[in-house]
Structure 1
Amino acid sequence: MTKLVLAADHGGFELKEIIKKFLAELGGYAVKDIGAYSAESVDYPEYGHKAAAAVASGQAERGIIFCGTGIGISIAANKTAGIRAANCVSEYMAEMSRSHNDANILALGGRIVEPELAKKIVKIWLDTPFAGGRHERRVKQIG
């Protein structure tokens, strides 16, 4: 069972809840929700850092994080060594973030990605393996 961590600020809270339910419907995932637990205003860096720490430490294999646009929380998560958080707004971006970049955290914007598209992005992101090969060399250069 794949261990996933979910985290969101207030702008991503509603989409996080939708994706959490979607993951339960898919099955095969042990999901740990580390907040926020309401739409009350909070600071996205706190949640980006918490999710990144969970993935970097091995407590979770991958993470899915949410804020209003996905931008701020992904920037915060990417400050943690070993994290490759990709803010995806399309199915193609989700596929490439895994296949070419071995992204270990997916960021989604709760105010810009509709729930049905978000579900498709999540499914593709979870199902796409890292291609390795020349991409492995490039990922290693990221640090």
Structure 2
Amino acid sequence: MHEIVIGCDEAAVNLKRIFIKLLQEMNISVEDVGVRNDEDKTAYPLVASAVCKKIIASGYTKRGILICGTGIGMCIAANKFRGIRAAVCHDIYSAQRSILSNNGNIACFGERVIGTELAKAILREWVKLEFKNGPSTPKVEEIVKVEWENFK
């Protein structure tokens, strides 16, 4: 399984701690890039940037998890980086499709939106999935072409 880089803002420290514990129990390596507590007001785009840069530096071998109040802001910020395909994953089907249809590499969650047990179930499913060449491959290739055109 992939090494995971995880980050959150002050609105999601609790869920991040739960995720780290779960991933460690699954024997998955986790790198926490912050924030460490709910008093740290580091803006979520900076946390998303730190996670994305770690993934890019790994040659895209690592995956990321970003958590904020809704998951939306982190997702938007992460998708500003070339080669990053982030998706808000608040149900199992979306989490599955983020990998299987879109070769996603970051799952975004909103601590204020999703219950803890559902979030854990989604994470368990997401980490075990791998993108396979198939009908979605040409679509992912088109996403990459759009990235290279727009991120010059």
TM-score, normalised by the number of residues in structure 2:
0.89
Share of identical aligned residues, percent? Answer: 37
Counterpart for residue 33 of structure 1:
32
- CA distance in 1: counterparts of 2:49 and 2:26, whole angstroms: 27
Q: Which runs of 5+ in 1 are unaligned?
A: none
**Aligned runs of 1:105-120 on 2, under 5 Å?**
105-120=106-121
| Structure 1 segments (4+ residues) deviating >2 Å | none
Root mean square deviation, CA, Å: 1.3
CA-to-partner distance for each residue in 1:85-116, whole Å, 9 max, x for gaps? 11111011111111101110110101111111
Q: Does 1:48 align with 2:59?
A: no
Aligned to 2:6: 6
Q: Map 1:1-143; keep pairs closer than 5 Å.
A: 2-27=2-27, 29-40=28-39, 41-58=41-58, 61-143=62-144
Q: Secondary structure at the match of 1:18?
A: helix
Number of equivalenced pairs: 142
State the alpha-carbon separation in 2 of the partners of residues 64 and 22 from structure 1. 13
CA distance in 1, matches of 2:137, 2:94: 18
The CA deviation at 1:139 is 0.8
Worse overlay, 56-65 or 96-105: 56-65
Q: Secondary structure at the match of 1:12?
A: helix
Q: CA deviation at 1:56?
A: 1.4
Q: Which amino acid aligns with 1:24?
A: Q
Q: Mark the runs of 5 or more structure 2 residues left unpaired by the alignment.
A: 145-152
Q: Distance in 2 between matches of 1:67 and 1:112?
A: 10
**1:2 deviation in Å?**
2.8
CA distance in 2, matches of 1:129, 1:32: 20
Give 1 or 2 for the bigger CA radius of gyration: 2
